[in-house]
Structure 1
Amino acid sequence: MASHPPLSPHDIARALDGLHPDLRILGPDAVAGRHPGEDPTNLAAGVVAQPASTAAAAALISWCRANHVAIVPQGGLSGLVGGGVSRHGDVILSSARLNRVIAIHVDEETVEVEAGVTLEGLQAALAPHGLTTGIDLGSRGSATIGGMVSTNAGGILAFRNGVMRHQILGLEAVLPSGEILSDMTRVVKVSAGPDIKQIFIGGEGAFGFVTRVVMKVEPIRPHRAVALLGVTNAGRALEIAAHLRRHPSLLLEAAEMMWPHYARDHAQLKGFDLSWLEGGASLLLVEISAQSADHATSLLEEELAAIWDAADIKGGIVAQSSEQARRFWDLREDSGFYFSAFPQAPSFDVSLPPTLVDHYVAELAHRLRSIGSGYDAYVYGHIADGNLHIALATPGPLSPNIKHDVEDAVYAGITACGGSFSAEHGVGLDKHRAYLEHADPGKQALARQFKTLLDPDGLFNPGKVPF
């Protein structure tokens, strides 16, 4: 392959200026003062292209292919695995101006939306129609729909509604060739050959740039009740969640667990009183919805009382106000509290069958202790679907040898038990080694074939997922 002399960010910005009327170009001077999001090198390319239409995105991609310039798709810059990191000489392809809710089909309970709309923005647009998304995340204010498609995001409701893959009916994307694939299906039942759009869901921008999607939505259930409970282990938490899920008059909206180290340190930082929590219990946050606010609260109190002894609940509080409920949720969703004490603390995102969580957490603690002192873990997550978030109570970055030992400790047995080394954050740069060691070799080989077919020059988000 012939070599191509690299273009500087200023050269690229000048060349792209005026390429398409719906394309805004931010050069190095404009990019310099912008916040990079979760990773300080997200904007290292120095050039951001912001199309306001699919045609403009196609024009930009065609130019990049012709000039052998790599493209880094970006959404809300809230990714946690380095999937949006860019380099000098790349072009950042941002969905920021693809920000329209195109159509809300109330009776169908579907919505057509552009990729740059945030989850919170979509929820706000749906609310006047009595609808909401069937997926929710703590980062709803920054996470974009396109970014959630690209990482196959999960979140709070995955135990009930599945992940992003289960919410998408159709999508439109620009391929690395500059061609447009449009499969804006609005129906659930499609038996018409392979479902090609699935390659973009969880593809982390390696196969193309998603511009529009059709999503399922569902009725809002605004009448909520929230409780914070003490539980001895994940098995007990699952018993409580299962009991609430089976009740005919309520709907379980969340079941979030925080193990003792996380619960104790975060509560202390927030000034949250846990004197009611017995012994070394973990915290379980449950939220339910019912036909009225009063009914939700009384129903939750009644159902918890009915299983209190059998589930060995170690104390609990049912929120008596929206402010108290918000404080409960703050303990769970403001999960980056440990970064102030442990800058760049190594973090992980795994999933495993929920019934195996207790054994895994106990073995994880043992494996981490075998590495040396100071490798305690904060563990918390979506207990009903087995998705655990793990952060070490130690500053990063770790030395390469220790990093490998920690990764081995975290990922041990995950694949063998039917779990995943990455539950909802993607692979990006941070999980290269884990992908190579824990993803099925046949799956890796097929992904590389797809990549070669669609992006033979390797220009789309190069180096992120090791295709």
Structure 2
Amino acid sequence: MSGFVETLIDRFGPSVVTAGAESPEKYHHDWAGLAPVVPLALVRPRTTEEVSEIMAACHSEGVPVVPQGGLTGISGGAHPVARGIVLSLEKLDRIEGIDTDAGTLIAGAGVVLETAQEAARDKGLFLGIDIGSRGSCQLGGVLATNAGGNTVVRYGMARDHVLGLEVVLADGTVIDGMNTMLKNNAALDLKHLFIGTEGLLGIITRCVLRLHPLPPAKETAFVGCGGTSEVIGLLRTARETLGPMLSSFEVMWPSFFDIMSEGTGLGSPLAGKHGAYVIIEATGFDKEGTRTAVETLLEKAFEDGLVGDGVIANSVKEERALWAVRESPAEYERVLGPVIPFDVGIPIGKMDEAVTRIEAEVHALFPSARTLSYGHIGDSNLHVVINVPEAGQNQPEKEIKACVYGITRDLGGTVSAEHGIGAIKRDYLGYSRSADEIAVMRGIKQVMDPKGILNPGKSFDEGQAA
């Protein structure tokens, strides 16, 4: 394949194409923790036309293509294959425009999420997608994985923000679906073939995103609850009291909060220990009214015995402090060492059983294990991070995954709530999707990518990942 790489270099130049052995190490893996793989080449196209031409060449030669965005995924969806190229979309980083009348933003796949958020904010508008890696994740990856995040309870998953897409197919065909209208029922809405399918059916190059009016008021509260049942009761009360103002509802069980607050030195805004900790965020268009609504919520929650203690931020600095422990996962390696992360979905009514069973059964397998539970409970998303101290770098992934995913399956949950399947969850997809559903997915893949060159071995694809 060296001749193929040389042909690409001759055509596009070394600023676009780099031989795999000479490519920077950061493109050899994502955050999934898999062993780095040196690709055949790193390709960083500057335009949709270049993406199209590169895909046509790869299709003709049967060369696998792994698309990459900001490399913040934890499921191995952007992990390279040795015999294929890495196609980074990072140079497609232009915001083409914001229509304040229509409430839309048009941008390239390589635009960093935080950049898009700030551009919308400068126009008095709001992009409702928000995840912890906002400063480095890119829009193409966010959409290809149908990312979730902190505001899903109010604004929905990434899919819910997309009006249109431009996509390059496996053979280089460009699908111009850059719809800017909220209503467009002209036959099949093809964009949904590419949102959340991790680059297996096509490569997103541009997007049209829906924006909302920017809420000028935001209130953040941090409370301690007796346990999961009180948290669920608080969620119900928050929805009833705040209505559409409820924008975030994050829970941290003591297994997460105690370890990370101490390990990071961030401490707790509350006195004493609690059975669960919750961050509630409300946004609105009247500062006094929003504050009053949150205060009313907490008063009712105290009266009903749902909350034992709580505080409301009085400044941006205090707001950030209330979020600090929740946004500390980047500190896992320093605080815990190597971890096995999980992103599962559990029906809200079974969340208490899920947390209790997972923490107890992992402890039964490995008594020294540290099992940290937290998540976006308002949208049924539970994150679990596990470390077995004595295992060092050789964490017992097989046994731990069998335990956690088995409990998830038994409770009618999903093995992937917001981070995709990628390479690391492929063997467990059958826990959440039926054989018939997977067969349909593979049938669509065969039609869209008959040579199987797009992101082989990921998610529902039957190809080899390496």
Q: TM-score, normalised by structure 2?
A: 0.91
Contact 1:228 1:328 in 2 (8 A): yes
Where does residue 15 of structure 1 map in the other structure? 7
Counterpart CA distance in 1 for 2:402 and 2:20 is 40
Pick one of 366, 377, 384 that aligns with 2:371: 377
Match of 1:85 among 76, 79, 83: 79
Identify which of 19, 28, 39 aligns with 1:27. 19
Query: Quick one: structure 1 residues 34 and 359, their matched pair in 2 at CA, closer, same or farther if it must change by over 3 Å?
Result: closer
For residue 26 of structure 1, report the CA deviation from its aligned partner.
2.8
Out of 317-326 and 43-52, give the one that drifted further.
Answer: 43-52
Cross-structure match for 1:304: 298
Residue 422 of structure 1: how far off its partner (Å): 0.3
> Which amino acid in 1 is paired with 2:284?
A
Determine the C-alpha separation between the residues in 2 that align with 1:130 and 1:308: 36
Amino acid paired to 2:178:
M
Match of 1:194 among 175, 179, 188: 188
1:170 equivalent in alignment to 2:164: yes
Match for 1:132: what amino acid? F
Stretch deviating more after TM superposition (357-366 or 182-191): 182-191
In structure 1, the partner of 2:131 is: 137
Point out the more displaced range, 119-128 or 227-236: 227-236
- Measure, in 1, the Cα distance between the counterparts of 2:88 and 2:222: 39
Instruction: Give the match's secondary structure for 2:175.
Output: strand
Moved more, 341-350 or 124-133: 341-350
**1:367 alignment partner AA:** E
Q: How does 1:23-422 map to 2 (within 5 A)?
A: 24-28=16-20, 31-32=23-24, 34=26, 37-38=30-31, 39=33, 44-45=38-39, 47-247=41-241, 251-274=245-268, 276-293=270-287, 296-394=290-388, 402-415=396-409, 417-422=411-416
Query: Within 1, Cα distance between the matches of 2:34 and 2:358?
Result: 30
Q: How many Å apart are 1:222 and its aligned residue?
A: 3.3
Whichever residue aligns with residue 428 of structure 2, its letter is A
Measured in 2, the distance between the counterparts of 1:218 and 1:424 equals 22
SS of 1:17's equivalent? helix
Q: Residues 108, 326 of structure 1: CA spacing in aligned structure 2 closer, same or farther, 3 A cutoff?
A: same
Q: How far apart are 1:283 and its partner, in Å? A: 0.9
How far apart, in 2, do the equivalents of 1:14 and 1:403 lie? 40
Aligned equivalents of 2:243, 2:460: Cα separation in 1: 47
Gaps of 5+ in 2: 462-466
After superposition, the Cα gap between the structure-2 partners of 1:217 and 1:42, relative to the gap in structure 1 and judged at 3 Å, is farther
Cα RMSD over matched residues? 2.5
| C-alpha distance in 1 between matches for 2:204 and 2:37 | 20
Deviations 1:298-323 (A, max 9, x none): 54234312321304312112122211
Worse-superposed segment, 117-126 or 319-328: 319-328
The separation in 1 between residues aligned to 2:382 and 2:70, in whole angstroms, is: 23
Question: Alignment partner of 1:123: what SS?
Answer: helix
Matched to 2:9, the amino acid is D
Which of 254-263 and 300-309 deviates more? 300-309
Check the 8 A contact 1:230/1:314 in 2, yes or no. Answer: yes
- Alignment of 1:454 with 2:444, yes or no, is no
Counterpart of 1:4? none
Separation (CA, whole Å) in 1 of partners of 2:284 and 2:209: 25
CA shift, 1:97, in A, is 1.0
Report if aligned partners of 1:250, 1:296 keep a CA contact under 8 Å in 2. Answer: no
Distance 1:196 1:292, change over 3 A: closer
1:172 counterpart SS class? strand
Map of 2:428 onto structure 1: 434
Q: Which amino acid aligns with 1:458?
A: G
Displacement of 1:224: 1.4
- Aligned partner of 1:425 in structure 2 is 419
CA contact (8 A) 1:49 1:93 kept: yes
What amino acid is the match of 1:64? C
Separation in 2, partners of 1:444, 1:406: 25
> Distance between the aligned counterparts of 2:74 and 2:402, measured in 1?
20
Structure 1 unaligned regions, length at least 5: 1-6
User: CA contact under 8 A between 1:297 and 1:318: conserved in structure 2?
Assistant: no
| Mapped partners of 2:143, 2:285: distance in 1 | 32
Confirm or deny: 8 A CA contact 1:44 1:85 kept in the other structure: no
- CA-CA distance at 1:234 after TM superposition: 2.9
Structure 1 residue 76, shift from structure 2 partner: 0.3
User: Structure 1 pair 213/22, CA: closer, same or farther in 2 (3 Å)?
Assistant: farther
The structural deviation recorded for 1:373 is 1.2
* Secondary structure in structure 2 of the residue aligned to 1:340: helix
Q: Which amino acid aligns with 1:454?
A: M
Q: For the residues of structure 1 that align with 2:431 and 2:375, how far apart are their CA atoms? A: 24
Local SS of the residue matching 1:423: coil
Give 3-state SS (helix, strand or coil) of 1:412's partner: helix
Q: C-alpha deviations, 1:188-222, integer Å up to 9, x for none?
A: 33333332221211111111111111121111113
Greater CA deviation, 29-38 or 453-462? 29-38
- Partner letter of residue 433 of structure 2? A
Q: SS state of the match for residue 272, structure 1?
A: coil
Q: In structure 2, how many angstroms separate the alpha carbons of the residues matched to 1:248 and 1:229?
A: 16
Provide closer, same or farther for how the CA distance between residues 190 and 91 of structure 1 changes in structure 2, counting only shifts above 3 A. same
CA distance in 2, matches of 1:323, 1:62: 51
Letter in 2 for 1:19: R
Distance 1:248 1:79, change over 3 A: closer
Q: Distance in 1 between matches of 2:399 and 2:242?
A: 47
Measure the CA separation in 1 of the matches of 2:349 and 2:235.
Answer: 13
> CA contact under 8 A between 1:137 and 1:156: conserved in structure 2?
yes
Give the Cα–Cα distance (whole angstroms) in 2 for the partners of residues 81 and 200 of structure 1: 17
Instruction: Say if 1:143 and 1:457 are closer, same or farther in 2 by CA, change over 3 A.
Output: same
AA aligned opposite 2:8: L
Distance in 1 between residues matched to 2:202 and 2:293, nearest whole Å: 48
Q: Which residue of 2 aligns with 1:3?
A: none
Please report the TM-score for the alignment, with normalisation by the length of structure 1. 0.90
| Distance in 2 separating the partners of 1:277 and 1:212 | 48
Residue 82 of structure 1 and its aligned partner are, at CA, apart by 1.0
